[in-house]
């Protein structure tokens, strides 16, 4: 049962809406950026693996190299214009988010940062960057995930952010990084189902305050679109959710383990974003040749991650980013990116 009441600041829904430029397409990106730690030792987390004196020799030069690469991926993922909203996984803190947002590739977007420290053992969190000229966030909140039968277990919080678009409509975003498959997929599945139950409670709470809910859920769920945890979330009681990844081909994914691709990173959205004035127009996985590498002794390719053991590969991440484009039909008729 959700123990934290989501306070919707309804009096602020239309704040400065008239000051924004018309923006018929709203571009969102989710990217698990794989261990985006800074080089400073944190006294409250276990980040010793990513320090200059560690076996990985995580120096400032390597840090900025990785962030420059990540920022270029984010900039290119949506074509001519940078993303309006970026949700990121595996970032250590708000400084890392700010540093990504101010790399040359993204500097002109003037992103604002949303981040809360989570209880994750290693100190990796989810965070959001957003363009205030496109959406003005009026509330954000970290939603803890607890495990009553395993009170010592810790994981990343859910991150909820709600904002007002140029049309005056409210858009809610939940960014998530559910518990890993450590110990095996079946052994760890109850932890992800628990995360799904809490996320579903958040969805229900939002739906109680909005008849026409505009909600996007994204993240690294460490499960595929047809797994039990995702089914638990999709069956949220007050609103129908669609999963964009259920229609994508099985020959690709966002993460590859051995010979198998999986869609661990996903977009889910409320039915109103399928039938309402603001609609999901396009979803896709983004990559370019520099972001992938061949797989030794296996056919095909995989994401080019930053590390091979303790060897820095000058790569990107072990995940590929995903993109969702909304068409705000209140800002122009019959718009389409196709």
Structure tokens at 230: 């995702």
Q: By C-alpha distance, which of 293, 334, 284 is closest to 316?
A: 293
Is position 6 within any domain?
no
Confidence at residue 136, expressed as pLDDT on a 0 to 100 scale: 97
**203: which residues sit within 8 A by CB, 6+ positions away?**
174, 215, 217, 233, 236, 238, 239, 241
Sign of torsion, CA 128 1 238 228?
positive
CATH of the domain at 161: 3.60.10.10
Cα–Cα distance for residue pair 131/280, rounded to 1 Å: 19
Cα–Cα distance for residue pair 335/19, rounded to 1 Å: 22
Structure tokens at 56: 């990985």
Provide the number of structural domains found in the chain. 1
Is position 321 within any domain?
yes
Provide the domain limits for residue 182: 21-331
Q: What is the pLDDT of residues 270-312, one digit of tens each?
A: 999 999 999 999 999 999 999 999 998 888 999 999 999 999 9
Cα–Cα distance for residue pair 50/70, rounded to 1 Å: 17
Is position 8 within any domain?
no
Task: State the pairing for strand pair 170-177/158-165.
Answer: antiparallel
Is position 249 within any domain?
yes
Is position 208 within any domain?
yes
Is position 11 within any domain?
no
Report angle CA 182, 187, 193 to the nearest 5 degrees.
95
Mean pLDDT of 251-256: 94
Q: What is the pTM of this model?
A: 0.91
Tell me, what DSSP letter sits at residue 290?
A: G
Residue 97 has pLDDT above 70, yes or no: yes
Is position 7 within any domain?
no
Residues forming a β-bridge with 323 = 29, 284
Residue 6 has pLDDT above 50, yes or no: no
Q: What is the pLDDT of residues 24-77, one digit of tens each?
A: 899 999 999 999 999 999 988 889 999 999 999 999 999 999 999 999 999 999
Is position 15 within any domain?
no
Higher pLDDT, 251 or 301: 301
């Amino acid at each position: 049962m959700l123990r934290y009441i989501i306070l919707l600041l309804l009096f602020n829904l239309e704040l400065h809406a008239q000051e924004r430029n018309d923006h018929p397409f709203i571009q969102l990106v989710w990217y698990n950026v794989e261990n985006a730690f800074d080089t400073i030792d944190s006294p409250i987390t276990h980040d010793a693996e990513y320090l200059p004196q560690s076996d990985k020799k995580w120096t400032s030069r390597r840090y900025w190299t990785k962030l420059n690469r990540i920022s270029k991926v984010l900039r290119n993922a949506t074509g001519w214009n940078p993303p309006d909203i970026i949700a990121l996984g595996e970032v250590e803190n708000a400084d890392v988010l700010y540093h990504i947002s101010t790399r040359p590739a993204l500097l002109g977007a003037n992103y604002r940062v949303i981040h809360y420290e989570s209880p994750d053992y290693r100190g990796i969190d989810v965070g959001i960057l957003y363009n205030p000229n496109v959406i003005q966030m009026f509330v954000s909140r970290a939603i803890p995930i607890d495990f009553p039968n395993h009170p010592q277990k810790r994981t990343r919080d859910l991150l909820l952010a709600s904002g007002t678009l140029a049309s005056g409509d409210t858009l809610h975003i939940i960014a998530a990084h559910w518990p890993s498959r450590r110990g095996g997929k079946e052994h760890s599945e109850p932890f992800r189902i628990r995360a799904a139950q809490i996320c579903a409670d958040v969805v229900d709470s939002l739906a109680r305050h909005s008849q026409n809910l505009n909600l996007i859920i994204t993240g690294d769920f460490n499960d595929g679109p047809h797994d039990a945890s995702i089914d638990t979330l999709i069956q949220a009681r007050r609103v129908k959710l669609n999963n964009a990844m259920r229609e994508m081909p099985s020959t690709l994914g966002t993460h590859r383990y051995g010979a198998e691709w999986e869609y661990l990173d996903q977009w889910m959205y409320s039915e109103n974003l399928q039938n309402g004035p603001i609609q999901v127009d396009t979803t896709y996985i983004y990559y370019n040749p520099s972001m992938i590498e061949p797989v030794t002794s296996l056919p095909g390719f995989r994401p080019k991650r930053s590390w091979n053991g303790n060897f820095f590969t000058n790569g990107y991440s072990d995940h590929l980013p995903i993109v969702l484009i909304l068409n705000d039909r209140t800002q122009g008729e019959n718009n389409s990116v196709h």
